[in-house]
Structure 1
């Protein structure tokens, strides 16, 4: 009989079993690999982009199907009458993320059962289960072994299995805290509000400016119509779990979709406490804010973790225009990307870095990509790496979970084994490690490799580089290309799926993007002593300009571009 190991917690492994099967590569991250050679591992589910796109679409269909059910239920519990859009703003980012996580875990279990119908495993005792406080707490937990063990245990329980249960301390949190005071920002924001016009009509939250003076530049470009508010009020809410409030979730869905039934079963334990037991206190905080209401509220990413902001926006969504903005790579370019799908859905308008997708998206630029950093002729090659959680936390078109070990890291190792100028590289690994020990693996393979100690920002490191190289398609390559900084990227084609592949084909023809890491290494060796001959050539610059126009558009005056879009929104659609 096979024994199933669902996570890396070896306390929950039966090491005396005849055959142990790991559910994924994440199970091996806490143990010495030498002890694991005789174990089997289930294949990774998400290396085929057609399968990824199908799963992505299915999960979003489930989201749109169950959100009205949850909206109605939450309205009844809290004795209010709020729209689906209200609840999308409050719970939406947690909900779509939870759906995709459970979809992955459910598929993993079912695939294992199909191959090993007779099996045994240890599960987490129900006395050890926890409930996340909110989205941030949920993401922290989903990166951990114990909470994933909880989800797998609950799925097996839902499927009717009865295995031996063991206790484990998962550290249940009960106090939601938010807010911090920045003396600089508080002083700056008060200064700006003092000089703002009485009829200031735009409130900006978390614009993620690189330059602190950008706040003032945009303010004066707006003709003093902007105020800044980061909604960083100090909040502390003590939340006690109410079992009776949670007992009705399984009764809400009367359909025959087994996956949706599973979700409602899991909601009873995993629905965040801030949306149920802590909701009224959080809502009271939002309603008690005395700030004047402006016509437009603009942010880049406050709709994910800033609950004072989320609740405030949701409470006033019928009286304001809510404008979001792209704040990283993959937006608009990838076929399966949750960020733009969710943020466009809850926004009245959404500003992009150049691309357009529907009437509510507004091509613009971004302060961060309008930096001016020139390559240093005798500098190093800055190599930037990525890392993701070892447990999949969203279904998208890029490396994550087991793919980090199976596809991403081997490709990068292959690159460094084939490049001759390895001593010229400064390697910037991801600041935190998912568990796959990326930095240590590189050190073991390349003892002389020079690593960035992260004492300086990416942009400061770039100032002393002659060439930027990246092993993934995310944000930094867009920043570098927007600056017209010599850039080379290589990626695994199996983990790429683009809405407009012809634009990425331009980068391939210009030898900026490679799917073959060995060819990328050869190209770097060839151009190393005279990078400008390649980078400044007509064909390469033409490809870069065309690509950046759609995905990393720059401007001679980014602040004027912002205000051009804001003024257009105010003139055409601002609510009184």
Structure 2
């Protein structure tokens, strides 16, 4: 009720030139403080969902003329099948909903660290403002930027179509890139390792319609490595293990829970009933089974973590591999499931001694400086970065 009242009242206190800031990955409190620091009344903007529109097959068939050769012909032939409905059948209703938004008419700038991904209403509204000259800034959304070869690359629209891209620490040397800090962990306190906690294994999601290879086959190989990891753990540690499934597991007919039950009926499986932060607070050691945002968050917050994934460092650029090798040398990133299980057993009785060692902490801090910087004053620092980006845009 209070949020609904705020959404109705706060827009009346906004100015047409206020910056539009939403989905920053900061806490709600810090996001409100950021707007206050910029001299404007905090807002709880929310964009409209694309309306449900019936697919018009005949219209799609008439959409393009299939011509050309090779890949061009293939892409043209597929366009009618893959074009989202909100860009064709549902476009006019979505545009009407966007035009009715009570957002600032001439914003000083637009900033988000998430809405550029799946928020079609935000995208349409932002495109209309950018076409009229409004500066548009984006912040890093998760892991992979500045390091991965195939996803979150320098060709991603949030980098190429923005006036400034705020990273979690890295810099590609272009004027558009501005090193910032890891927004997800901003304002959170680092914690000491817990000596009597459990073991947490964090699982990846299946990559649906993102890659050009067989995702189901790849995920089967991936999950087999998770089974091998748990099987290689000493019995006493395995009984303190919680397997946290990725939140998207419900979207696929993979039957993750049943597969885990077949391997070990007594395994503790978490399906997202509580936040991963709560689970981390009860864990003495966390194992990530993929190169994820969570690893960066743990490293930034100084939480003991181990990691392993398939295919080594082949998914990383040569520049990024230099930094990841620091984690390998420190024994944080390991080459396979059995090796990780053995390492867990070796560290289990005194995780803190290993994690707080000079070698591990030096590697952690050097890596974080590149990919997971922390900030003691995230609101002040982000305000400074945004205003600097705005000044460069005005030059």
- Shorter-chain TM band: 0.7 to 0.9
Alignment of 1:48-67 (within 5 A): none
**1:329-362 CA deviation, whole Å, 9 max, x = no partner?**
2222111114652321221111111112332121
Q: What is the aligned counterpart of 2:167 among 352, 359, 371?
A: 352
Radius of gyration: which is bigger?
Answer: 1
Q: What is the aligned counterpart of 1:273 among 79, 82, 85?
A: 85
Q: CA deviation at 1:367?
A: 3.2
Alignment of 1:148-167 (within 5 A): none
Distance 1:248 1:465, change over 3 A: closer
TM-score by length of 1: 0.61
Aligned residue number for residue 187 of structure 1 = 6
Give the whole-Å Cα distance in 1 for the aligned partners of 2:17 and 2:63: 46
Distance 1:192 1:481, change over 3 A: farther
1:435 matched to 2:253? The reply is: yes
SS in 1 for 2:130: coil
**1:175-199 CA deviation, whole Å, 9 max, x = no partner?**
xxxxxxx8526617845873x6x58
Q: What is the aligned counterpart of 2:225 among 399, 411, 426?
A: 411
Aligned residue number for residue 551 of structure 1 = 371
1:311 matched to 2:130? The reply is: no
Distance 1:485 1:265, change over 3 A: same
Give the whole-Å Cα distance in 2 for the aligned partners of 1:234 and 1:512: 41
Q: What is the aligned counterpart of 2:108 among 295, 303, 309?
A: 295
1:321 matched to 2:143? The reply is: no
Tell whether the 8 Å contact from 1:443 to 1:449 is kept in structure 2 after alignment. yes
Give the whole-Å Cα distance in 2 for the aligned partners of 1:538 and 1:428: 30
Q: Identify which of structures 1 and 2 has the higher relative contact order when contacts are C-alpha pairs closer than 8 Å and 6+ apart.
A: 2
Q: CA deviation at 1:459?
A: 0.4
Aligned residue number for residue 331 of structure 1 = 145
Q: CA deviation at 1:448?
A: 2.6
Stretches of structure 2 that go unaligned for 5 or more consecutive residues are none
- Count the aligned residue pairs: 383
Q: CA deviation at 1:569?
A: 1.4
Q: CA deviation at 1:533?
A: 1.3
Q: What is the aligned counterpart of 1:206 among 20, 23, 38?
A: 23
Give the whole-Å Cα distance in 2 for the aligned partners of 1:385 and 1:462: 14
Aligned residue number for residue 36 of structure 2 = 220
TM-score by length of 2: 0.87
Tell whether the 8 Å contact from 2:304 to 2:355 is kept in structure 1 after alignment. yes
Tell whether the 8 Å contact from 1:193 to 1:227 is kept in structure 2 after alignment. no
1:426 matched to 2:242? The reply is: yes
SS in 2 for 1:328: coil
Distance 1:459 1:400, change over 3 A: farther
Tell whether the 8 Å contact from 2:165 to 2:178 is kept in structure 1 after alignment. yes
Stretches of structure 1 that go unaligned for 5 or more consecutive residues are 1-181
SS in 2 for 1:327: coil
1:513 matched to 2:333? The reply is: yes
Distance 1:365 1:376, change over 3 A: same
Q: CA deviation at 1:239?
A: 5.3
Give the whole-Å Cα distance in 1 for the aligned partners of 2:119 and 2:382: 23
Q: What is the aligned counterpart of 2:264 among 436, 446, 457?
A: 446
Tell whether the 8 Å contact from 2:51 to 2:94 is kept in structure 1 after alignment. no
Q: CA deviation at 1:505?
A: 0.4
Q: CA deviation at 1:462?
A: 0.8
Tell whether the 8 Å contact from 2:48 to 2:97 is kept in structure 1 after alignment. no
**1:288-310 CA deviation, whole Å, 9 max, x = no partner?**
44533212101122123322221
1:343 matched to 2:343? The reply is: no
Q: CA deviation at 1:266?
A: 2.0
**1:395-439 CA deviation, whole Å, 9 max, x = no partner?**
59xx94321102x11211111121212122122122324333333
Tell whether the 8 Å contact from 2:36 to 2:42 is kept in structure 1 after alignment. no
SS in 1 for 2:98: helix
SS in 2 for 1:473: coil
